[in-house]
A and B are shown apart, each in its own frame.
Chain A
Amino acid sequence: MQRYAINIFFLVAAVTLVGLAQAGMLDKYVLTVITFMGINCIFAVSLNLVNGYMGEFSCGHGGFMCVGAYAGSLLSVAFFTNSKLFGAALFAPELAPFLFPLVLIGAGLAAALFGLIVALPSFHTRDDYLAIITIAANYIIISIVENIDAIGGPRGFSGMKKVVGLMTDVANVPWMLIWTIIGLFACVMIIYRLMTSTYGKGISAVCQNEVAAEIMGINTNRVKIMAFMVSSGLAGLSGALYAHVYGYVNAQAFNILKSTEGLVMVYLGGMGSISGVLLAAVAFTLLIEVLRFVIPWLNDVLHATGLLAVNYELGQVWKWVIIPLVLILLMQFRPEGFLGNRELTHVFPRLRRWITFR
């Protein structure tokens, strides 16, 4: 019983959260922030597989989130709603909550496929070149999406609100929160199981020394491509959730800035540490939300004290000065992130007897 404490704890936490949301104790804003926390967690943990465990440097993770967001949106609109684009709904609207996992899986598969397309040519190169190629892939994906007029082009794509509405018609529960929790759980499990498997050993070996891995009989190319596909697939899952929480997608939401957010979360948490990256993703999401209130407050204070010119308003764009600054300070004073490549259970060994992941 003790060994399952962590699983029970998470289950209780998840049920409590959903219960609170259901009872209307969380206001809409808090609920959205919590959901985005979960989505950011999935995004960061998936990127951690490539940038942390495998030691490659992928900078275009937002691109795969974009593929997932659009694939998920298109699937769910085609499945459950009557639309101009796809015509009549494929399934009865009552089936929406039951078939929604198909949408998420489809989004993941689509993103994984794009991951494969990017990985095949780019893993013949190493190090910096992969970074350059993935940035390029990020731009290419966004340009492609923006130039397909049928799915809205630069205007974006919507219609997912209707699908979430259909689910709520069947049962009035906070569906997107539930799907995000399930998605996050699946994502952490997949990566944890992968890294403790034989394949995971291969991934660590590739990270350490590629030549050595190859002469230990490890098919380094296959290991790298597989890890990249899993990683981009899970990013796609986070994209699909994102699209449904917002009810609207626009390719520019997944540009290089989104990829950078992912990098910040991974480096903040510690490369190769699932628990570290989860902590970082939560902290990072909170930081962004806190800044939303702090910046206007700072603006008022600075104006009141006369430190800021009267005709200049400190706007929300300053977020993008403060966040990179956090990253710079982090690299300066704690380059290994919160936990380095260790898990919480290594930092606090006493936790270990409460925890088994099965």
Chain B
Amino acid sequence: MLRVSNLKAAYGKIEALHGVSFQVEQGEIVTLIGANGAGKSTTLKALMRLTPPESPVVTAGDIKFNGVSILGMEAHRVVSDLRMTLVPEGRHIFGNLTVVENLQLAAWTRKNEKLDKEIHYIFDMFPRLAERARQRSDTLSGGEQQMLAVGRALMTKCSVLLLDEPSMGLAPLIMYDMFRTLKRLNADGLTIIVVEQNARLALQVADRGYVLDTGEIIAEGPAEDLLRKPEIKAAYLGG
């Protein structure tokens, strides 16, 4: 469904991706793992077609969605037409709005009255958010904010969800919860691409994985295989 071929991307003159190729099929969970600065977030931002200053410019290669190049597309069209959206690193929730308002704003083109069912689905997924429904979202804990960020992304009715470091800053238990929820969303038909520092956790959940190192893919394969590979174990899974 999503096919990235020989993608090169740069921030100004500094090239961050030196020809990355991978693909994602419908209904899969695919993970990109790698150290800091490997180009994981850069890849997601390029996929979302976000623009500078905080995002890179694609200099070569192609991104095809169902066979059609999306390089000429703007981010909001990626969301509205391709039904693909991002849970950004650092969450980017609307801090001075309540939890419900955040969710409503994500469905900004639809009328609020009709959203109750959808919001109910999100609250079913993340019961903690239901307790905090009328609370200002910047008063939530880090884990709850991450749940809200995922919930808000789901409110765009996406069929492909990109997640940038969903485990960042979360306590281990909450982290496992988050990944269990991702698995459940995947079972409901959502295609997921997740970028993660916690490689072991990500590979346990994912169907397939790619290992990025300084802007290049150095290993790929089914997640169980990667978990067993000695060199990957040594470099990313802590021996």
User: Which residues of A line the B interface, CB within 8 A?
Assistant: 126, 198, 201-202, 204-205, 208-209, 211-212, 214-221
* A217 CB to nearest chain B CB (Å): 4
Q: When chains A and B are docked, how far (Å) is the Cα of A216 from the Cα of B83?
A: 10
Indicate if the CB atoms of A217 and B80 lie closer than 8 Å.
yes
* A220 CB to nearest chain B CB (Å): 7
User: In this assembly, does B97 line the interface, its C-beta being within 8 Å of a C-beta of chain A?
Assistant: yes
Indicate if the CB atoms of A215 and B153 lie closer than 8 Å.
yes
A-B contact pairs, 29 of them (CB 8 A): A201-B105, A201-B108, A202-B108, A205-B105, A208-B96, A208-B97, A209-B94, A211-B88, A212-B92, A214-B50, A214-B76, A214-B79, A215-B48, A215-B50, A215-B75, A215-B79, A215-B85, A215-B88, A215-B153, A216-B79, A216-B106, A217-B79, A217-B80, A217-B85, A217-B109, A217-B156, A218-B76, A219-B74, A220-B76
* A62 CB to nearest chain B CB (Å): 29
Indicate if the CB atoms of A208 and B94 lie closer than 8 Å.
yes
User: In this assembly, does B152 line the interface, its C-beta being within 8 Å of a C-beta of chain A?
Assistant: yes
Count of residues in B whose CB is under 8 Å from the partner chain = 25
Indicate if the CB atoms of A208 and B95 lie closer than 8 Å.
yes
Task: Chain B residues near A220: list those with CB within 8 A.
Answer: 76
Task: Chain B residues near A208: list those with CB within 8 A.
Answer: 94-97
Q: When chains A and B are docked, how far (Å) is the Cα of A201 from the Cα of B103?
A: 12
Indicate if the CB atoms of A211 and B76 lie closer than 8 Å.
no
Indicate if the CB atoms of A205 and B108 lie closer than 8 Å.
yes
User: In this assembly, does B54 line the interface, its C-beta being within 8 Å of a C-beta of chain A?
Assistant: yes
Indicate if the CB atoms of A204 and B105 lie closer than 8 Å.
yes
Q: When chains A and B are docked, how far (Å) is the Cα of A82 from the Cα of B135?
A: 64
B48 nearest CB neighbor, chain A only = A215
Task: Chain A residues near B79: list those with CB within 8 A.
Answer: 214-217
User: In this assembly, does B86 line the interface, its C-beta being within 8 Å of a C-beta of chain A?
Assistant: yes
Given contacts A198-B109, A218-B108, contact A212 B76 (CB under 8 A): no
Q: When chains A and B are docked, how far (Å) is the Cα of A219 from the Cα of B94?
A: 17
Q: When chains A and B are docked, how far (Å) is the Cα of A293 from the Cα of B156?
A: 59
* A206 CB to nearest chain B CB (Å): 11
User: In this assembly, does B29 line the interface, its C-beta being within 8 Å of a C-beta of chain A?
Assistant: no
